[in-house]
Amino acid sequence: MLERALSIRRPPHATEVAGTAEGDGGDGTGDESKIRKHVSVAMRVTNYLTRTGYIWPILVIGLIIVIISSVIISSRDLVCISASSSDHISRLRFFGFDGLESDFGSLGVPWCRSKHGKDVEWTSKDLLKGLEEFVPIYETRPIKNNMYGMGFDHSFGLWFIARWLQPDLMIESGAFKGHSTWVLRQAMPDTPIVSLSPRHPEKYLKKGPAYVDGNCTYFAGKDFMDFGSMDWGKVMRKHGIKDRSRVLVFFDDHQNELKRLKEALKAGFKHLVFEDNYDTGTGDHYSFRQICDQFYIRGGGHSCYKESDEARIRHRRKKFWEKAVDTDELCGPGEAWWGVRGHMRDNFNHSNKVITYGQHFQNSRFVESVLDVYWELPPVAGPSLTHQTRYDPARTSIPIVEDGRYGLFRRLGLSQLDLSVFNGYTQMVYLQVSKNDT
């Protein structure tokens, strides 16, 4: 009977789930019967102690124990602050449980300005609803351990965007074992895919799990072609695509993103997703984040003054987050904000080009001139829930499931996933672009 009552109360959608997360104390159990049981036992003990006259001595002893243990705990906190251990507990103690939420974005979240300030159509409610749907799909993935490929956050982002846009054709550059091809297929079961990758995913099948799609044209192995060298007119004709704005292009090939943007514009594509939109000072290729991390952008550009608060904060955060970077790594000679330090990284860091600060600045203006929409996927959940240690929250927007909302995290099924799948967030970005008018 109770089981039936609980299942009737369980809301069908994440949006509704979100509304009830705090209502059950955040643990998601919603089990009132347990609480009642505890109260009645406590009442019985209290009654007994009052009757026998032991109540006051026991209360005094209890108070002394509470005072002594709180002194011990706070002195342990002081030790943790000075320790360089990067474990999760010490990180929480260092930044404080209450401070976690406000910590997000505290060092700036740069973004690329679009031509007319247009935004995406979807809302955070749509993302939550999408998450609820995607978790069980993700659990059926053929490649359970996708090291060097996408983790949960970006898999969700790609699936969500593809499903929202409903493209007539999906192009992928950088397939590896085929996990992202599988994600695209889950979003759009009948839509053709074109996949470009130097090594055919079927090669990986000999060694372990991989995914090869039946409705995908592979330009891979001996047939490999780079995105920039493809005859896209021929491919579009073959697939009967007349309107290239009905095509979604997904890049996970670690190439200079400015180069890819220019190639995509030339081919007439409009909807682009970049998997690794690396933060300034990190990564192996020039990214939109880096390009747009400029002084004139809110959240962009930074103080290079060595004695600044920012320098101190960055230095401290490096101990806790793998992708956090020191001011030393970001600034040029004369304490000049330089971000990418004179290099346009390309092709997994193998073919970097020297650029001047002026060129770097002009690149951001160029990106803005062709940009209709810029949207960074937020992290799926806060680090106190996912235990991720990679991205620095201070450089990131607020997660879809915020820290402290364990009830929601659990109800969405996220607590059942292996924690390692949450360690791959690098600000995946969706761009809508069109050639500039000049």
Ligand X SMILES: C[S@@+](CC[C@H](N)C(=O)[O-])C[C@H]1O[C@@H](n2cnc3c(N)ncnc32)[C@H](O)[C@@H]1O
Q: What is the pattern of x (binds ligand X, CB under 6 A) and - over residues 215-254?
A: -----------x-------------------------xxx
| Residue placing its CB nearer to ligand X in the complex, 176 or 406 | 176
**Rounded Cα gap, residues 206 and 202, in angstroms:** 7
Asked if 42 and 436 touch (Cβ cutoff 8 Å), the reply is no
Nearer to ligand X, 174 or 404 (CB): 174
CB of 339: closest distance to ligand X in angstroms?
23
Residue 279: DSSP 8-state: P
Tokens representing residue 170 in the block: 């999906």
Is residue 196 within the footprint of ligand X (CB under 6 A)?
Answer: yes
Distance CA 49, CA 43 (A): 10
Q: How many CB atoms lie within 10 A of CB 277?
A: 26
Span interacting with ligand X, options 193-201, 232-240, 311-319, 358-366, rule CB under 6 A: 193-201
Pick the binder of ligand X from 90, 197, 389, 432 (CB under 6 A).
197
105 by Cβ neighbours in 10 Å (0-12 / 13-18 / 19+) ranks as middle
Listed in sequence order, the residues at least 6 apart from 229 whose beta carbon sits closer than 8 Å to its beta carbon are none
- Nearer to ligand X by Cβ, of 148 and 295: the residue is 148
Closest CA to 136 of 361, 363, 414: 414
3-class DSSP state of 341: coil
Residue count at the site for ligand X (CB under 6 A)? 20
- Map residue 46 onto helix, strand or coil: helix
In angstroms, what is the minimal distance from the CB of 196 to ligand X?
A: 5
Closest contact distance (angstroms) between CB of 201 and ligand X is 8
* Residues forming beta bridges with residue 194, ordered by sequence position: 171, 217
* 251 three-state secondary structure: strand
Which residue in the set 90, 114, 180, 327 belongs to the binding site for ligand X (CB under 6 A)? 180
Among 25, 96, 198, 208, binds ligand X (CB under 6 A): 198
Does 293 sit near ligand X (CB under 6 A)? no
Residue list 138-177, contact with ligand X (CB under 6 A): 146, 148-150, 173-177
Give whichever of 173 and 363 is closer to ligand X, judged by the CB atom: 173
DSSP result, 350-384: TS-EE--HHHHHHHHHHHHHHEEEEEEPPPSB-HH
Binding mask 102-141 for ligand X (x = CB under 6 A): ----------------------------------------
**Would strands 343-344 and 247-251 be described as parallel, antiparallel, or unpaired?**
unpaired
Query: Cβ of residue 206: shortest distance to ligand X, in angstroms?
Result: 16
- Kindly state whether residue 346 participates in binding ligand X, applying the rule CB under 6 A: no
Name 98's bridge partners: none
Between 170 and 331, CB nearer to ligand X? 170
- Find out whether 382 and 100 touch, Cβ atoms under 8 Å: yes
Give least dist CB 172 to ligand X, A.
7
As measured in angstroms, the least distance from the Cβ of 208 to ligand X is: 13
CB of 155 to ligand X, least distance (A): 7
Note the residues at the interface with ligand X (CB under 6 A): 146, 148-150, 173-177, 179-180, 196-199, 226, 252-255
